[in-house]
Copies of this chain bind each other. A is one copy, B any other.
């Protein structure tokens, strides 16, 4: 366990001042090329590694990005994190990740921790029941950028990376209508969250544009869990006029709802056509395979970190307050009815083994 090498050691070894060594290591232009070379080689020879804490202390920045995520262990969210990690790593930023577990309380606690850890910037996807944004105030007032992803804040002051949920939902609903569905149920999450509110909006618009009636009874709001899916199916089975289409805001919920319906003897897609959301791997495994909205998680993570770093580098384009990524309806067996293949050239993915 040998002692750590500091810039002072390098300086002494080369008979220079720590100042010059520090500047050289930061590639400061005011240091002679030859000197730099000498310092570099001496540094690596001695096994020097910079002390981030000394540096951070002096520079008042941490090269650390905080990430608050509702729940880590879902396919979508872990893809997002994977994307974030990649970009952050490449740009020499560290990530501190914490989960709100879908509750405001934990989200507030997380925000506080992040603030105390003095993150340079914060990336947040809001918990189900977060109402106000007060816990992000400390960041704002200290000019620490906060960027939302997926579950964003409505307040115009906050930047966010999203997909066009209205459009995606509109597309999914229209697809169901094209397949002959006349009575579609939409299962979605807490409407305080933009993602769910927007999807409901898209659902309504699609009905409207196709002269189909909308009523509150067409919407089931739950927490989109497995159990909620099963429960929703039971609810549907009890309905007076059974729906012939189902658009669910989340694949897990959709799958378990669908399976429950199948077990109750309902045939999918003929009696009820189903579309999910997220395009989780699970979609290609369930029988019948589940149509879904492909949702670029990995990319969303990359973009979120990239714009945060962009902002931190002072290249901020403060006018850009929303970045919208593409999303795409993937049609599979769960919503494709025989003799209805008028899909206007949309992507098809009939066979389960198709990617």
Binding site for B on A (CB under 8 A): 1-2, 49-54, 56-57, 62, 71-75, 77-79, 81-82, 85-86, 89, 94-99, 113, 115-118, 141-143, 226, 230, 252, 255-256, 259-260, 263, 281-282, 285-287, 298, 352-353
Q: What are the 9 tightest A-B residue pairs by CB atom distance, in nearest-first order?
A: A78-B78, A73-B78, A53-B57, A53-B56, A72-B82, A287-B287, A73-B79, A53-B53, A73-B82
Q: How far is the CB of A339 from chain B (nearest CB, A)?
A: 23
B97 touches A49 (CB 8 A): no
B53 touches A62 (CB 8 A): yes
A72 touches B52 (CB 8 A): no
Taking CB atoms, residues of chain B closer than 8 Å to A71 are 82
CA distance A286 to B259 in the complex (A): 10
A259 touches B75 (CB 8 A): no
A57 touches B51 (CB 8 A): yes
CA distance A105 to B252 in the complex (A): 35
B82 touches A353 (CB 8 A): no
Q: How far is the CB of A28 from chain B (nearest CB, A)?
A: 20
CA distance A1 to B62 in the complex (A): 18
Nearest B residue to A113 via CB reads B89
CA distance A282 to B142 in the complex (A): 45
Query: Given contacts A78-B74, A82-B99, A98-B89, are A352 and B118 in contact (CB under 8 A)?
Result: no
Q: How far is the CB of A266 from chain B (nearest CB, A)?
A: 15
CA distance A117 to B71 in the complex (A): 26
Q: How far is the CB of A8 from chain B (nearest CB, A)?
A: 14
Query: Given contacts A81-B72, A99-B85, A230-B353, are A115 and B49 in contact (CB under 8 A)?
Result: yes
CA distance A252 to B96 in the complex (A): 29
A353 touches B89 (CB 8 A): no
Taking CB atoms, residues of chain B closer than 8 Å to A74 are 78
